[in-house]
């Protein structure tokens, strides 16, 4: 199958126009006219993942995070990855914030995993909803840690506070100042997201909006399942990466 047909399968569900302005998803290197028999799906394109694709004779890598993230000046590590992909004729394609925000994308799948009923929120890569079963901040953070296999979850707020309404924003969503300002008056009990920063954590505590900070990797690794479901109808062989691992020590 031509890469173009595989890309169309992805963009029919996660069109590029859904991406945030800062984002650079889509085709990074390679040609849409290239034939593809095997695809490796992953969250991040690392040297290990690229070697995995080479070892498995994959002609295409579909990742969540772009291999080149809009840098005007590409650093040597990134350039080495792109050069190696080109040398081995491997197509690099990504669906990033467009996959976060689309219906059935990462935020929706994350809510499904965490047993949250989605009630709204689609324009800034987040979902508003309610837990199927309410609990304290402590109980919910422990429950989410198990569901995401995340040993480094942190919280902001009263651990005994009852949590029902929630804002979910995968990846680095918990460091979005505009999102916090948007939801502070929407009766949201807790935000679930990653990469919070201390200035925003202080603000959230003042607003009485609790935080469950999850790992960026852990909240988005379900992208591999999403890509697999998108592409399986193509008939090409799809391999879920085993080398795309959380870089942080457990």
pLDDT tens-place string over residues 84-129: 999 999 999 999 999 999 999 999 999 999 999 999 877 788 999 9
Q: What is the mean pLDDT of residues 56-80?
A: 92
Q: What is the mean pLDDT of the chain?
A: 95
pLDDT of residue 70: 77
Tell me, yes or no, if the pTM score tops 0.85.
yes
- Distance between CA 80 and CA 76 in Å, rounded? 6
- Distance between CA 187 and CA 195 in Å, rounded? 23
CATH fold match for the domains 3-99+220-240 and 101-219: yes
pLDDT of residue 163: 96
* Maximum CA extent, the chain: 57
> What are the sequence ranges of the domains in the chain?
3-99+220-240, 101-219
Q: Which of 192, 210, 200, 177 is nearest to 128 (CA)?
A: 192
- As given in the structure block, the two tokens for residue 19 are 């991406």
pLDDT of residue 73: 75
pLDDT tens-place string over residues 24-54: 999 999 999 999 999 999 999 999 999 999 9
**pLDDT interval class at 130 (50, 70, 90):** very high
pLDDT of residue 46: 97
- Look up the CATH number of domain 3-99+220-240: 3.40.1390.30
Q: Considering just the CA atoms, what is the radius of gyration of the chain in Å? A: 19
- Look up the CATH number of domain 101-219: 3.40.1390.30
pLDDT of residue 125: 87
pLDDT of residue 120: 86
């Amino acid at each position: 199958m031509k890469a173009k047909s595989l890309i169309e399968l992805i963009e029919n569900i996660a069109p590029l126009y859904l991406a945030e302005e800062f984002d650079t998803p889509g085709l990074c290197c390679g040609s849409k006219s290239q034939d593809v028999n095997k695809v490796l799906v992953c969250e991040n394109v690392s040297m290990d993942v690229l070697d995995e694709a080479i070892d498995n004779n994959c002609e295409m890598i579909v990742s969540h995070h772009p291999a080149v993230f809009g840098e005007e000046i590409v650093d040597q590590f990134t350039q080495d990855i792109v050069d190696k992909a080109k040398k081995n004729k491997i197509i690099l394609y990504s669906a990033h914030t467009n996959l976060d925000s689309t219906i059935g994308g990462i935020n929706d799948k994350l809510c499904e995993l965490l047993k949250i009923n989605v009630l709204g929120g689609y324009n800034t890569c987040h979902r508003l909803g309610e837990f199927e079963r309410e609990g304290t901040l402590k109980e919910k953070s422990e429950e989410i840690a198990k569901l995401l296999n995340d040993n480094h979850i942190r919280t902001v707020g009263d651990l005994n506070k009852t949590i029902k309404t929630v804002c979910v924003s995968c990846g680095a969503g918990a460091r979005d100042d505009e999102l916090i300002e948007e939801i502070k008056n929407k009766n949201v009990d807790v935000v679930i997201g990653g990469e919070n920063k201390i200035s925003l954590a202080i603000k959230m505590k003042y607003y009485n909006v609790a935080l469950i900070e999850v790992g960026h990797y852990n909240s988005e690794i379900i992208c591999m399942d999403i890509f697999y479901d998108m592409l399986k109808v193509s008939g090409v062989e799809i391999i879920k990466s085993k080398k795309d691992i959380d870089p942080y020590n457990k």
